[in-house]
Chain A
C-alpha cells in the first residue's frame, strides 16, 4: 500500500526527463510535420472540392446557355420557316394573279388585234369590192353603151339599186 500511495523519487525523475525529451523530440520530428501535412492536405482537398464545384457551376451555366441558344435557334428556325412558307404562298398567289391578268391582257390584245385585222380586212374587202364593181361597171358600161336597150336597162337597174341602198 505504501509503495502505491507514495510517488517514488526515481520514477518522477526518470518520467519527467524522458517525457520532456520525448515531447521535445516529437514536437520537432513528428507533430510539426504531421499537423502541417494534415493541414496542407485538408487545404488541398478543400481547394480541389471548391474547384470542382466552380467547374460544375460553370458547366451548368454553359449547359443553360446552350439550352437557351438551342431554344432561340429553334424559335428562329420556326419563324424563318413560317416566313418562307408565307412568302412562297404569297408568291404563288401573286404569280397566279399575275398570270390571270396577263392572260386576260393577252386575250384582250388578241381580241383587239383580231378586231383590227377584221376591220382592216373588211375595209380592204370593201375597197376591193368597190374596185371590182367599178371594173364590172366599166365593163358593163363599155359593152352596154353600144346597145341602146342595154343602156336603158342598166340605167334603170342602177337607179333601183341605189334606191335599195
Chain B
C-alpha cells in the first residue's frame, strides 16, 4: 500500500477530491443499475457482461441515478400500420403500450420490443412471432446527445464567427479566444500539412468533424447524465466514415484513380494482386476510421464500468463488505488513472479521425509527382 504521508498529501489536493466525488457518483450510478439488473433477471448473480453492454448501448431514456430518468420520444414507422410517437416511459413497467397505429410496445431494460399483437405477460425479448417491418426513428439517448452537441456547436461557432466579423483584425476575446487555438490546430497541424494547397476546401468538414467528435467524447466522460456514448455508437461513426468516403471518392483526381487502378512501374503479375487490394482499401480505410473511433470510446466506457463492477463482484454483492472496500480502494485509484487516460483519448481520437480523413483527402487531390 502507498506511504501514509503520500496518501494524505494526495487527499489534500482539491483535484483528487473532485475526482473522488466524480467516481463516487459513477460507482453509485452503476450500483443502482446493477441492483436493478439483479431484480430483473431473477438469478443468483447478475450478468456483469450484459450489464456493461447495456450501459454502452443506446437506450430510450437518459438515466440519472436510481429511478430518476428522463424518458425520450419513441418514433416508430411501420409501413403496414403507420406512425407512432410516444415517450418511452409510457411503455415501461408491466403494461405494454398500445400505440394509435395499433402496434404494441414494451420497454424493458432499455430495450424496446414491438409487436402487432398484445404481448403475453412474460414474453421473451424481441417478440418475433409475425414478420413485422418497422423503422425506428426514435430520439434515443445517442440521438438526443448528438442533437445537443450539434446545437451547442452551432451556437458556439456562429457566435465566434460573429465575433470575427464584428472585430476584424483584433485580438480574439472570450469564447472566440478559447476556440481559436483548436481551430488553428486543425488548420495548421491537420489540414494544411496533409492536404496542401486544397486544404481550404476541406476545412469546414474537418473542423466540424473534429469538434463534433471531441465534444461528443467529452460529453461521454461527464457522470450523472446517463453516460452518453455518442462516438462509441456504430451508427454515428458509420455516418462520419461514409461522409469521409464520399468526399474522398468525389474529390479523387486522375492521378488518384490511376494509382489505384493501374499503378505505374509495377510488373503485371503484381498488378493483379495490388489492384484488388487497392480497390478494397478504398472501402477499408473509412471502415477502419469507423471501427477505431467506436472501439476506442466504447472501450474507455467499458473499462470504467468494469472497474466499478469489480467492487460488487469481489464484494460478493454486499455479502463480503471488507473485500468490497479493499477492491473499492484499488478500483478507485485505477479509475482515476483511467479517467486521466480517457481525457487524453477524448482529444486523441478526435485528432486521429480528423488527421486520417485529411490524409485521405490529401491522397485524393495530390498531383502526380513520382
Contacts from A to B (Cβ < 8 Å): 1, 3-16, 18-23, 25-27, 29-38, 40-41, 44
**Which residues on A sit within 8 Å (CB–CB) of B142?**
11
- Establish whether residues A34 and B235, one from each chain, have CB atoms under 8 Å apart when the complex forms: no
**Which residues on A sit within 8 Å (CB–CB) of B79?**
none
- Establish whether residues A26 and B158, one from each chain, have CB atoms under 8 Å apart when the complex forms: yes
Q: Mark B199-242, 1 if CB is under 8 A from A, else 0.
A: 01001110110001000000000000000000001111011101
The one of A6, A19, A32, A44 in contact with B243, judged by C-beta atoms closer than 8 angstroms, is: A19
Chain A minimum-CB-distance residue to B151: A22
Query: A14-B137, A14-B143, A34-B164 are known contacts. Are A19 and B239 too (CB-CB below 8 A)?
Result: yes
**Interface residue B364 (Cβ < 8 Å from any Cβ of A):** no
**Which residues on B sit within 8 Å (CB–CB) of A40?**
168-169
Query: A19-B240, A22-B208, A38-B180 are known contacts. Are A29 and B137 too (CB-CB below 8 A)?
Result: no
B-side interface size class: 35 or more
Q: Mark B137-170, 1 if CB is under 8 A from A, else 0.
A: 1111011001100100110011011101100111
User: Can you name 27 A-B pairs with beta carbons within 8 Å?
Assistant: A3-B57, A7-B234, A7-B238, A9-B136, A9-B137, A10-B75, A10-B135, A10-B137, A10-B143, A11-B58, A11-B142, A11-B235, A15-B236, A16-B242, A19-B239, A21-B150, A23-B208, A26-B153, A26-B157, A27-B208, A30-B157, A33-B164, A36-B164, A38-B184, A38-B187, A40-B169, A41-B169
Separation of A8 and B298 alpha carbons in the complex (Å): 16
- Establish whether residues A44 and B169, one from each chain, have CB atoms under 8 Å apart when the complex forms: yes
Given contact pairs A22-B150, A33-B162, enumerate 20 new A-B contacts (beta carbons under 8 Å).
A3-B111, A4-B234, A4-B298, A14-B137, A15-B239, A18-B147, A25-B154, A26-B153, A26-B208, A30-B160, A31-B208, A32-B204, A34-B157, A34-B161, A35-B183, A36-B164, A38-B184, A40-B168, A41-B168, A41-B170
**Interface residue B53 (Cβ < 8 Å from any Cβ of A):** yes
Chain A minimum-CB-distance residue to B158: A29
- Establish whether residues B183 and A38, one from each chain, have CB atoms under 8 Å apart when the complex forms: yes
Chain A minimum-CB-distance residue to B74: A10
Separation of A30 and B147 alpha carbons in the complex (Å): 18
Separation of A25 and B293 alpha carbons in the complex (Å): 25
**Which residues on B sit within 8 Å (CB–CB) of A19?**
146, 150, 208, 212, 239-240, 243
Chain B minimum-CB-distance residue to A31: B204
**Which residues on B sit within 8 Å (CB–CB) of A33?**
161-162, 164-165
- Establish whether residues B143 and A11, one from each chain, have CB atoms under 8 Å apart when the complex forms: yes
**Which residues on A sit within 8 Å (CB–CB) of B135?**
9-10
- Establish whether residues B139 and A35, one from each chain, have CB atoms under 8 Å apart when the complex forms: no
Number of A-B pairs, beta carbon distance below 8 Å: 134
The one of A12, A22, A23, A37 in contact with B235, judged by C-beta atoms closer than 8 angstroms, is: A12
| B contact face: mostly helix, strand, loop, or mixed | helix
Separation of A53 and B150 alpha carbons in the complex (Å): 45
- Establish whether residues A34 and B208, one from each chain, have CB atoms under 8 Å apart when the complex forms: no
- Establish whether residues A18 and B146, one from each chain, have CB atoms under 8 Å apart when the complex forms: yes
Chain B nearest CB from A49 CB (Å) reads 14
**Interface residue B357 (Cβ < 8 Å from any Cβ of A):** no
- Establish whether residues A23 and B143, one from each chain, have CB atoms under 8 Å apart when the complex forms: no
**Which residues on B sit within 8 Å (CB–CB) of A27?**
204, 208
The one of A5, A10, A38 in contact with B164, judged by C-beta atoms closer than 8 angstroms, is: A38
Chain A minimum-CB-distance residue to B142: A11
- Establish whether residues A14 and B139, one from each chain, have CB atoms under 8 Å apart when the complex forms: yes
Separation of A5 and B184 alpha carbons in the complex (Å): 35
Chain B nearest CB from A80 CB (Å) reads 55
Separation of A31 and B53 alpha carbons in the complex (Å): 38
Chain B nearest CB from A69 CB (Å) reads 40
**Which residues on B sit within 8 Å (CB–CB) of A31?**
157, 161, 203-204, 207-208
The one of A6, A14, A44 in contact with B146, judged by C-beta atoms closer than 8 angstroms, is: A14
- Establish whether residues A29 and B164, one from each chain, have CB atoms under 8 Å apart when the complex forms: no
Separation of A35 and B191 alpha carbons in the complex (Å): 13
Chain B nearest CB from A16 CB (Å) reads 5
Q: Which of B135, B157, B239 has the most CB of A within 10 A?
A: B239
- Establish whether residues B58 and A22, one from each chain, have CB atoms under 8 Å apart when the complex forms: no
**Interface residue B335 (Cβ < 8 Å from any Cβ of A):** no
Separation of A9 and B239 alpha carbons in the complex (Å): 11
**Which residues on B sit within 8 Å (CB–CB) of A15?**
143, 146, 235-236, 239
Query: A4-B53, A22-B150, A44-B169 are known contacts. Are A34 and B160 too (CB-CB below 8 A)?
Result: yes
**Which residues on B sit within 8 Å (CB–CB) of A23?**
204-205, 208
Chain B minimum-CB-distance residue to A27: B204
Chain B nearest CB from A2 CB (Å) reads 8
Chain B minimum-CB-distance residue to A36: B164
- Establish whether residues A5 and B157, one from each chain, have CB atoms under 8 Å apart when the complex forms: no
**Which residues on A sit within 8 Å (CB–CB) of B212?**
19, 22
